[in-house]
Structures are given as structure tokens and as C-alpha cells.
Structure 1
Amino acid sequence: MTAETSKKTCCAPAREGGAEIDKQASTLERENAPAKRVSIPGGKGLVGTNQPELPIDGENPLRSARIKPFEMDETVVTNARFAEFVAATGYVTDAEKFGDSFVFVHLIPGDPKDFPAVPGATWWHMVPGANWRAPHGPGSEDMCLPDHPVVQVTWRDAVAFAEWAGGRLPTEAEWEHAARGGLGDVRFPWGDKEPNDRDFFPCNIWQGRFPEKNLGLDGYLATAPAKSFEPNGYGLYNMVGNVWQYTGQAFKVKSLKKHVQREHADKKGYKLGKGGSFLCHASYCYRYRIAARTGTSPDSSTSHQSFRLVYDI
């Protein structure tokens, strides 16, 4: 799979298919990492916003949804927990089958020019050997830190993990209800105060000029530990920033406007992601807001996509 055959998008470059390659799974022993769940109350949940920043993504309008009580992992799935899954099942991720994956340019070991860039989004390169064990490509195995989010996993990988773990991916309504932490119609899990590049760093996002220079003022140039920064009112960590989180539903935008239809014409079958990532900044990709959303093909994996589970009660 080459970058030239991938689809262009700023948040999540996507494959255009490709044959799966059989590969024998290896077992990776890691520390036991039981997941802590928190209870999310049911009731009237809110979805979307009446003050959209990116209406082309389908952020608006603000609407309500009836939510049943459920449980949710307090963090996204970590490398340690994903390793337990692989050790128990012999699962092989899509990136391992394909033999390559998308890596953000400044994280690539060695010279990024050695790897093809995605046209129109040249901060993404297709790197052979990049997968969850070596998230930035060969030579980055030491970045597969046990307490950090697992990345370089596809939506299909997330669904397979959820089936093994006895949970599922959340709906958009469940995810937003949980992210709001009981605060109602707010922009972020902590309220409405905007992160900045000076003195307020409530989550792991980009500081500086994207994509040239990340100042790392929040303490991280790539992923932060899954359990970092302050949790929201329900006890959930990093509901925005750090890594995108897959949901269990399709990415759809309802609009009669032709320019919106053209924008999303090639995204049939894409899956909905929420939360933004360490690559987001208000000046470029203002998607670390609760109402923000993106779509990703179910066989694509990157340096900044992960997931957390919910559980029916």
C-alpha cells in the first residue's frame, strides 16, 4: 500500500483497500493491566452543538438523546492491555497484515523522505513495519509504552478487542454524554475555557505552528499516558486530545448542500471517531471539542487513533 493510493484527509489518512497478508502472530508478555470502569448515569444526553466550528463535519445542531446507564473504561485501551489480548488470542492487527501504516512525520525514526508522503497531507507518511508494537516504524519499539494508548489499530481491530473483552464501542450519543461529565452543553470535558499556548493545558494537543513545530508545552510531543491530566466529572481521563477514539457507528453527515455532499462523497463505509488528538490545534484542526467528529475507513491505522470500551448494565 502506497501513500499515492491513500485518500487525503487531515485527521486520518485512509487506505483504499488492499489484500490481507497472512502473518503468524507472536506472543508478547506484558504486565497485567486490569481496566477500571466508571458508571455513567442514564437520562437525557446531549449531542452536537448550536455553535459549530466545522459544520461541514455535521457538528450541529444540538439535540437530545435518551441514554441508558452504562459503564465506560476510565481510559482508552493501553498497550499493556492490548498485549494481553494478543497474548491470549494470537490476534494479528490489520497494520501487521498489510505490513505498513501511517506515521506522523516528526515521529518517524530516521529520514521521513525515505517514506512516501500522503499527497495533500504531507505530514503523514506510509511507513513499512509500523504497527502497534513499533508505532512509529522499525526502531520505535521502545515507544510502545505499557501505560500509553495503543495506536496503529484499525476500527476492525478495536471491534475484535471489544468482543474479547466483553464490551463494545460506544455510540456517538453515549460518548458525548460521558465526555460532558454531567456539565451539560459545554465545549470541553472541563467546561468552556479554551486551551492555549501559554498557561492553560488541560489536555494533550498541539502547541505551536502545525505541522512545522510542536512546542510540547503540555509536556508531550506524541501520546501521553492514558491516565493523565485531570479526569472529567465522571472520572474519565483524556476524553479529548491525546488520541482519537473510535465509536461503534458509521460516519454520516446529513446535509442537502452540494459542497458538503462533495466533501464526503468518498467516505462511504467510514467509521465515526471522536475526541481529537495530540495533533489538534485551534488554528488548524479544531476537533478536540466534544461535538467535533471525523470519519476513518475501518482498515486504516495511524499514530493517533485508539479506542475505549463501554459495557451494558
Structure 2
Amino acid sequence: MVTTIERWSGVEVRALREAMRMSLREFAAHLGVSERMISKWEAGRENIRPRPVNQAALDTCLTRSDADTRARFSRLIGTDALLTAGEAEAVKPIGSDHVRHSVDGSLMALVEGSVFQAGPGNTPLWLPSYYIDVYPVSNQEYAQFVAATGAHTPRHWTGGTFPADLAEHPVVFVTWPDAVAYAEWVGKALPTSQQWEKAARGTRGSIYPWGDQATPAKCNVRENGIGNTTPRDCYMSGGSTYGVHDLCGNVWEWCSTETSPGRYELKGGAWTSPFVRATPSSFNDAAASMCDDDTGFRCAVPA
């Protein structure tokens, strides 16, 4: 069987952090809480009990840890937990933080499994590891899909192809089914709204991908007066902690999360949106048939 904790105290918290070989900062980020909170728990030792929501997060971190980490944790708290069959094998690394997808050649970033702060209320949630496109799908990438499948072209294309100066701009005028069809063709999926949000906000619930400071100049939103999409790498200073870009402004992005029959979440705001709408925790949705000049998508895949 695997070690379980009936009720966490500061003693077990410190043991888990040391078993995972993480610094205070790293462990706090992994749990999605502040360093000060971790320090408070550890200093209180057996006299402090984290809140139930944090105990649940600690449970999840322990059960999802590899066999070596659980064995170290067992020794540190003085138990002799047995590992289930196969758990003694060394866990293979998922890969580098950024990889190229084998089908469309897109650059993807690794978002490691952990608790993160979700939504306007910063609710702690666990997500397993996944990869997400560093940039939204471009016109040039979408053209590969059209050529391979015979799918209809977006309405702003002429003569069956995109305007040359928009090759590296996000593709727009795509419905939710269009985005799903591309994702399935390339062997990926649309991200859930939670996957999208974690890639944008990190584990600590930053307000924006770059931090907590409201800086419209770091993204393509209405206030900047550009009046159209921009190349996907135009705002490199606006990237998230995972190295994912264009998560605020430029185009709204379809997610796989259905909000009601036939309606799906959109994330990120667009060049048509005021900056306040580009906050990654904000909610927006639309009918699957919606097709506009400020809506595109990116893809994700389990790690």
C-alpha cells in the first residue's frame, strides 16, 4: 500500500517538501500557496493543521508523487509504506520544457502537474502534466490542415490561401468545430479552460501572464489602437512563466470546456477587447457556430 496521512500537520508538510527535494519557493509554487504559508506550517510543526482545501492539495501531491519520493517521505515520517507493483521503477523524464510536435512542428511548452489557483476566486485545483502550444495556431499552420483535409478556408483568405503578410498571425474566422477538426487532425485537443488558465497564470494565480501589474502595452488590446491581429511573437515580454505567449489579447481562443449545450468557453481577450477583458481568469463563452475576426485557438496534449 501507499502512505496516506489522516490529518496533515507542519511535520508532514516539511517531510513531503524534503522528500520532493524542493525549496520553500518551489514547494509553494507546486502547491499554489505562498512561501509564507509553507513557513508558517513548518514552524508550527505538530501544532498546526492546514485548512481542508490545503490538506486535499497535499494529499494529491503525495499520491501523485513518484515511488522514490513516497519512499523518502515514509522514512522521514517514520513509516514503512510499501510501494505498489511497478512503482519502484524510476520515473522517466517527460522531456524538455519545450518540444516540437511531430505532426505540425509547432512549439509546445510543458506545464507540470500541480495545484494552481483557478478563476476569479483563486480556487486551488489540481491538473496533471500537459503540453500546450506556445502560440495560437497561425494562418500558415492552418493552411497545412486545409491542404491535407480539404476543409473550407477562413473567410478572410482569398484564392484558397491566406494573405502573405498574415502567415504568422493567428488564424481567425474559425468556429469551434473548425478548431476541433484541426486539433484532431494534428493529434491534439483544444485545452480545457483550466489548462489554458494555468498556462497563463502559473501556479500562484498571477493576474496576468507577466505578473500582477496591469500593463496593456504587453498585449494587443483595444487600448493600443492597432485595429487588427498581430504576429504571434509580437509581444514577447507578455509571456507566461511557462514561456507561453499571446495569452492576453490578439485573439479570443476556443477551449474544450462546454458551458451549456452548444456553447464553449473562450479565453484571453482580443484586439477588439478592452484590456480588462483580457484577464486570464475572466469568463467568456460563445455558441460553437460563432465565427469572427477576433477568434482563434491553440492546442494541448497530455504529457
Question: TM-score range with shorter-chain normalisation?
Answer: 0.5 to 0.7
Give the number of aligned pairs. 198
1:202 to 210, 218, 230: 218
Question: Residue 159 of structure 1: CA displacement?
Answer: 0.3
Alignment of 1:28-67 (within 5 A): 34-49=105-120, 61-67=121-127
Secondary structure, aligned partner of 1:173: helix
Question: Which amino acid letter does the alignment assign opposite residue 113 of structure 2?
Answer: G
**Matched position secondary structure for 2:174:** coil
Distance in 1 between the 2:165 and 2:289 partners? 21
The structure having more radius of gyration, on CA atoms, is 2
- 2:192 maps to which residue? 171
Residue matched to 1:186: 206
Q: Deviations over 1:149-206 (max 9, x none)?
A: 0000000000000000100011111111111135x1221111111125xxxx011101
Report what 1:222 is aligned to.
Answer: 228
**Partners of 2:116 and 2:202 within 8 A in 1:** no
Residue in structure 1 matched with residue 171 of structure 2 by the alignment: 150
Identity of aligned residues (%): 30
2:282 to 270, 292, 307: 292
* Secondary structure at 2:278 match in 1: coil
Aligned twin of 1:236? 244
TM-score (norm 1): 0.59
Contact 1:190 1:232 in 2 (8 A): yes
Gap change, CA 1:287 and 1:303, over 3 Å in 2:
same
**Residue 76 and residue 247 in structure 1: after superposition, are their counterparts in 2 closer, same or farther (change >3 A)?**
same
Equivalent residue for 1:133, pick from 142, 151, 157: 157
Which AA in structure 1 matches 2:173?
Q
Give the C-alpha shift of residue 232 in structure 1: 1.7
Return the structure number with greater relative CO, CA threshold 8 A, min gap 6.
1
Mapped partners of 2:235, 2:268: distance in 1? 15
1:232-256 per-residue CA deviation (whole Å, 9 max, x = no partner) reads 211111111100011001125xxxx
Higher helix proportion (structure 1 or 2): 2
Deviations 1:116-169 (A, max 9, x none): xxxxxxxxxxxxxxx1415xxx9x963761100000000000000000010001
- Relative to structure 1, the CA distance from residue 92 to residue 144 in structure 2 (aligned partners, 3 Å threshold; closer, same or farther) is farther
Aligned partners of 1:133 and 1:144 also within 8 Å: no
Find the partner of 1:72 among 104, 111, 132: 132
Kindly provide the amino acid, as one letter, of the partner of residue 312 in structure 1.
Answer: P
Q: Does 1:305 align with 2:295?
A: yes
Poorly superposed stretches of 4+, deviation over 2 Å = 140-144
For 2:147 and 2:164, the matched residues in 1 are separated by 19
Alignment gaps of 5+ in structure 1: 1-31, 50-60, 96-130, 208-214, 253-267
1:310, 1:221 → 2: CA distance?
Answer: 28
Pick closer, same or farther for the CA change 1:157–1:190 going to 2, 3 Å: same
The aligned amino acid for 1:277 is A
Secondary structure of 2:147's match? helix
Distance 1:300-1:48 versus aligned 2 partners, 3 A rule: same
Alignment deviations for residues 93-138 of structure 1 (CA, whole Å, 9 cap, x no partner): 5x6xxxxxxxxxxxxxxxxxxxxxxxxxxxxxxxxxxx1415xxx9
C-alpha RMSD of the superposition = 2.2
Q: Which amino acid aligns with 2:221?
A: I
Aligned AA (1:270)? R
| SS in structure 1 at match of 2:285 | strand
CA distance in 2, matches of 1:177, 1:78: 22
Q: Which amino acid aligns with 2:119?
A: G
SS in 2 for 1:185: coil
Alignment partner, residue 25 of structure 1: none
